[in-house]
Structure 1
């Protein structure tokens, strides 16, 4: 059991407080969601299950379970006869947003089953699989790759039917279901899902995400489904596809502060859902490959994008896109309460899980949070030019690696710095590490950006010569302060 303290704990607690509001509880939760059947409900169930896993207080865990039970006990009143949200499947009029929304419903059900093992949840997953998911392969194989009309933050269905599809302005959101269907296969083991998963991945791999302005959130969620299927099958081509998609996102879908363009090629606003997807995706890729670049991305994404997205009320919002044509970072929407506020909860749980991991017999400290695992405890003291890490092993650790940012001077009585990792052998005593960051610049997207460790440095005024870390909007006083905050490259 891992425990977190300090800033991450505060963020989790505040998000939990936000998600206890009536719109995330039965019965009001079933009035929300609009044209995205199952989306609001599924994201909320997944968020609550994630918060349950991240929480170590028994009273709060029971409060979360009570909220979940109320939702689960009411599902039959609000789902169709086959167990999912919205109309029954029609192969001649496939609702792309219904597939996307019910993917989050599946993810939520799977997460709940993993923590409480309720048999009626498993029965619902099997019913949805047999009556809905197993029918989808022909539709996905003819998924139209066409330009779409532009949508707003919430997305909408287009009015015409194209090749049997009612398409969304969130281009490619049908492939969010790769995340839900692979999780469902992992839980149920239903082999009838395999042809559908393979058909979906086949079509997904053929799409030119950049040319067709696919939604980065959808592309990243689909790619995480591909990566889960790799873990279940061990097929190298799946890992290759996941790595390729990460590179496409990194090169064409990411802002200068490691957030996202809502669509490839359209740098209008960021979306915390995609920031969450990219962060989790990178951490999972590191766990599989051991390549340092993925965990560097995760650290930079957390410090410069995810922290920016969480609001003082515990929810999450959207920003402008820092890129070669826009030098100003500021709030675009204070809170995307219909999606991002829920999804950030899953990211918090995953940050808890990946802060300290064990891989191939080696223990890794990957993220700078105060936390404790079965093997060690980590305390972190941050200051303007670096940070201090104190690591206390609970028993002898044969091999320990600690992530160190680029351009960082390290002081430590033991350990050897190799390829951006501080390595220790047979460690039993407490270790004190001092990291001092060195300022440097990088050229990205035809802009020069200034860094200090993993922090992007921005100015509070275009004419100002002094730079500071990207502002953490969670720590500003209120909504007006967030909306007034502007920072410049």
Structure 2
């Protein structure tokens, strides 16, 4: 029997990961409700700008509902993503959306006679229709979880039953043979590229499994046992796919993996975490660009990036940490946030696509490919930024995890007890973080603060008294009966230098990247920069980064929505360097 190389690889990884997954079973740390979190600083600004963008005319009630032709054969996609983005931005920014109520009021009149969006196909399934209505399910589910509007349940139920359950006999036949699928085709918005048997198939290969994630969230809300075999049929087919061989879309793959995590949360079956983790590791090696964005399809390095997938990768990395407590996933999420999410958010609050530097495109420069993917990524940006706010703190009993250093206020309520803290920092451009305890009626607590690998000489003080704290699973564990007005300060030094590239198939052995802490550095200069192997980057008194001993100045790939990153060919920055 000949074993497919992809499946053999997954089998090997399964054996490596199995013990870790078994030991992680049980209760996982949970997020705080949005009502208990107030983000400040740059994340607050990003949320507000994205929220404003989603309330401009394009996303208003008289514009947001699209015909099949206007949607490019993606029924429900724009509407679902818009509802999702508005719901998430509203909760994270604590502001009522201006037009969401009217969008929800008008939605039923745009559904077909069966209660979902798009035409009714009687003899085939339309992959993009399942994907688009999957986003509609996601938007409606998050709206229900927020507003508890019982009227939405009928729409969730109709889409689940009339579209997804009615196609239950088709999912096992979803075409996954790499020789049968058209690869090397597709635009940024995707299109129906071929027909095989009873399937109208998308150039966004695997996007049917985006619909699966929406269906799984519907199942979490409806608890309808009729959905379970349909979900498991979709999961079974997804797990059979040779993602590299079929050149699956990375966005679809990552969304499907988030669906696996969601299903594990519902069923308690940690095997789904294992399967999601295996595929995420495959993505991290084969689908991630050198600044932690994504190749739009596996193995297609000539293409572009897509913030939808970047946001999926960020969320999935955090969720995998949540379930496995493997700190490397938080470190990866931190790099995705600063170098990918923050780079692709444009000055208008929307999100756009970049090129993929490396051998295939014959460039070391990161550049804009599409100024704004207003039809999908701008809306998903709302979810990504809102999740970043939600990830401010995780709790497990009397253990509080702060996975990321950022400006935020949060309160942990446990029955009738309360712990409130203000977190302030200029990280990652500064090397100190301060926590001001505002209230604690919970008694002795364990406050867990991240010690990323790029931090050295780290120290912790409480009220200016230096403490020696144990570390566990990547966190400094500060156990104390905190009092109101206690001040915790964390200081450290950022590591700098040259780092290895991510993807060995699209870079040369002598390629490297430059970094300061989690920040990737770049140079805007017509002369290509070559770095010595022992290169050291320093931050000088003017706040700028330089190659030590020279006047070569670096910028950061990170930016706070600068207008400079908008037009292709006008915002190119060298981010790959030769190390000699």
RMSD of Structure 2 on Structure 1 (CA):
1.9
1:173-322 correspondence runs (5 A): 173-267=207-301, 268-322=303-357
CA distance in structure 1 between the partners assigned to 2:199 and 2:329 by the alignment: 36
| Residue pair 1:103, 1:176 contacting (<8 A) in 2 also | yes
Deviates more, 1:390-399 or 1:300-309: 390-399
Q: Counterparts of 1:19-418 in structure 2 under 5 Å?
A: 19-31=54-66, 33-56=71-94, 60-61=95-96, 64=97, 66-90=98-122, 92-145=123-176, 146-149=180-183, 150-158=185-193, 160-267=194-301, 268-323=303-358, 325=360, 326-359=363-396, 361-374=398-411, 375=419, 376-382=421-427, 384=429, 386-393=430-437, 394-395=439-440, 396=443, 398-409=445-456, 410-412=458-460, 413-416=466-469, 418=471
Q: Which residue of 2 aligns with 1:459?
A: 523
Instruction: Provide TM-score, normalisation by structure 1.
Output: 0.94
Q: Contact 2:38/2:410 (CA < 8 Å) preserved in 1?
A: yes
SS in 1 for 2:499: strand
| 1:438 Cα deviation from its structure 2 partner | 1.4
**Do the aligned partners of 2:401 and 2:447 also contact (CA within 8 Å) in 1?**
yes
CA contact (8 A) 2:157 2:222 kept: yes
For the pair shown, which has the larger CA radius of gyration, 1 or 2? 2
> Which whole-Å deviations, capped at 9, do the CAs of 1:400-448 have from their partners, x for residues lacking one?
1111221312132225363532221115221111222011433233442
Give structure 1 stretches of 5+ with no counterpart: none
Shift of 1:381: 1.9
Aligned residue pairs: how many? 480
TM-score (norm 2): 0.79
Deviations 1:120-146, CA, capped at 9 Å, x for gaps: 101111122222221222211000023
Q: Which has the higher helix share?
A: 1
Q: Check whether the contact 1:178–1:226 (CA below 8 A) recurs between aligned residues.
A: no
Shift of 1:322: 3.2
What SS does structure 2 have at the residue aligned with 1:167? Answer: strand
The alignment partner of 1:390 has SS state of strand
Q: Is the 8 A contact 1:407 1:440 kept in 2?
A: no
CA–CA distance in structure 2, aligned partners of residues 256 and 130 of structure 1: 42
Query: Could you report, residue by residue, the CA deviation over 1:6-62 in whole angstroms, capped at 9, with x for unpaired residues?
Result: 100100111111111122111211135231000000000000110111022xxx31x
Partner of 2:533: none
Identify the range of structure 1 (326-335 vs 219-228) with the bigger mean alpha-carbon deviation: 326-335
The structure-2 alpha-carbon separation of the partners of 1:397 and 1:342, relative to structure 1 and needing over 3 Å to count, comes to farther
- Using the TM superposition, name which of 317-326 and 330-339 deviates more: 317-326
Cα shift at 1:201: 0.4
Per-residue displacement from partner, 1:165-200 (whole Å, max 9, x unpaired)?
110111111111121001000111111000010000
Distance 2:223 2:152 in 1: 15
Deviates more, 1:221-230 or 1:445-454: 445-454
Secondary structure of 2:169's match?
Answer: helix
User: d(CA) in 1 for partners of 2:349 and 2:245?
Assistant: 36
